Amino acid sequence: WTRRAALHVVETAPTTAPITTPRAQSPSVTDWVAEISALTEPDAVLWCDGSTKEWDDLTKLMVSQGTLIRLNPEWRPNSFLARSDAADVARVEDRTFICSTEQIDAGPTNNWRAPAEMKAELSALFAGSMRGRTMYVVPFSMGPVGGALSQVGIQITDSPYVVASMALMTRIGTAVLDTITSTTEWVPALHSVGAPLVATAADGSVTVTPDVAWPHNPLKYIAHFPETREIWSFGSGYGGNALLGKKCFALRIASVMARGEGWMAEHMLLVKVTSPEQKVYHLAAAFPSACGKTNLAMLKPTIPGWKVETIGDDIAWMRPGPDGRLRAINPERGFFGVAPGTGLATNKTAVDTMWGNTIFTNVALRDDGDVWWEGLTETAPAHLIDWQGNDWTPDSPTPAAHPNARFTVAADQCPSIAAEWEDPEGVVIDAILFGGRRPSTVPLVAQAKNWAHGVFVGATMASETTAAAVGAVGRLRHDPFAMLPFVGYNMADYFQHWLDMGETLGSDAPAIFQVNWFRKDAGGSYLWPGFAENARVVEWIIRRLEGDVAARQTPIGGLPLAHELNVDGLGLTRDQLDTLLGLDAEGWVIEADETERYFASLGSDRMPAALTDELTRLRGGLAKL
Q: Give the residue numbers of the binding site for Mn(2+).
A: 247, 267, 314
Footprint of ligand GTP (CB under 6 A): 287, 289-295, 313-314, 337-338, 340-342, 346, 468, 517-518, 526, 530-531, 534
Query: Measured from the CB atom, is 461 or 559 closer to ligand SPV?
Result: 461
Torsion over CA: 291, 269, 517, 600 (sign)? positive
Count of C-beta atoms within a 10 Å radius of residue 455:
27
- Which amino acid makes up residue 367? D
DSSP states of 476-511: EEE-GGG-TTT-SS-HHHHHHHHHHHHHHHGGGSPE
Known binding-site positions:
91, 238-240, 247, 267, 289-295, 314, 404-406, 437, 531-534
The residue among 495, 416, 492 whose CA lies nearest residue 455 is 495
Question: Minimal distance in Å, beta carbon 5 to ligand GTP?
Answer: 31
Paired strand residues for 520: 526
Nearer to ligand GTP, 311 or 622 (CB): 311
Q: In what order do the strands lie in the sheet with 280-286?
A: 307-312, 268-274, 280-286, 431-435, 511-515, 445-447, 557-560, 551-554
Handedness of CA 368, 373, 378, 382 (dihedral sign): positive
When CB distances are held under 5 to 8 angstroms depending on the partner's kind, the choice from ligand SPV, Mn ion, ligand GTP, none that residue 346 binds is ligand GTP
Choose from Mn ion, ligand GTP, ligand SPV, none: what does 517 bind? Cβ within 5-8 Å by kind.
Answer: ligand GTP
Least Å from the CB of residue 499 to ligand SPV: 25
Distances 76 to 62, 104, 360, 382 between C-alpha atoms, Å: 17, 49, 11, 20
> Residue 438 binds which one of ligand SPV, Mn ion, ligand GTP, none, with CB within 5 to 8 A depending on kind?
none
Count the residues of the shown chain that bind ligand SPV, applying the rule CB under 6 A: 9
Task: Scan residues 459-478 and list those touching ligand SPV (CB under 6 A).
Answer: 468
* Residue placing its CB nearer to ligand SPV in the complex, 240 or 375: 240
Q: Binding to ligand SPV by residue 289, rule CB under 6 A? A: yes
Q: How far is the CB of 89 from ligand SPV (least distance, A)?
A: 10
Beta bridge mates, 511: 431
Q: For ligand GTP, give the closer residue by CB, 70 or 293.
A: 293
Among 5-13, 70-78, 238-246, 298-306, the segment contacting ligand SPV (CB under 6 A): 238-246
Burial 304-313 (b: 16+ CB within 10 A, else e): eebbbbbbbb
Strand, coil or helix: 457: helix
DSSP helix/strand/coil, 406: strand
- The helix (H) or strand (E) run that includes residue 99 is none
Nearer to ligand GTP, 69 or 299 (CB): 299
Active-site option among 48, 99, 248, 291: 291
Angle, CA of 50, 52 and 58, to the nearest 5°: 80
Annotation marks residue 291 as catalytic: yes
- SS3 at position 411: helix
Q: Show contacts with Mn ion in window 273-332 (CB under 5 A).
A: 289, 314
Other Cβ atoms less than 10 A from the Cβ of 525: the count is: 7
> Which x/- pattern over 233-272 shows residues binding Mn ion (rule: CB under 5 A)?
----------------------------------------
* Annotated binding-site members for substrate: 91, 238-240, 289, 404-406
**Toward ligand SPV, which CB reaches closer, 361 or 496?**
361
Specify the stretch interacting with ligand SPV by CB under 6 A; choose among 240-248, 503-511, 526-534, 585-593. 240-248
Which of ligand SPV, ligand GTP, Mn ion, none is residue 341 near (CB under 5 to 8 Å by kind)? ligand GTP
Of the candidate residues 191, 246, 453, 536, the single one contacting ligand SPV (CB under 6 A): 246
Strands 371-372 and 364-366: antiparallel
Kindly list the catalytic residues.
291
Query: Site residues (CB under 5 A) for Mn ion?
Result: 289, 314
Query: What are the residues binding ligand SPV (CB under 6 A)?
Result: 91, 239-240, 246-247, 289, 314, 336, 468
